[in-house]
Amino acid sequence: MLSPGPSHARRRLVSQGGSTVAGLQTVLAELAET
C-alpha cells in the first residue's frame, strides 16, 4: 500500500495543478492517516 500511496498522491498533485507545497501536504496528510 506504500507503493501506490505516494504514486497516487503524486498523480493527484499533478492533477491539482502541480503545486509542490500542496502535493507535499497531501502526501503528508495521507501518510498521517495511514
Query: What pLDDT is stored for residue 12 in this prediction?
Result: 62
Q: In the predicted model, is pLDDT for residue 25 greater than 80? A: yes
pLDDT band for 17, please (50, 70, 90 cuts). low
Other CB atoms within 10 Å distance of the CB of residue 15: 8
SS3 assignment, position 1? coil
Mean pLDDT of 9-13: 61
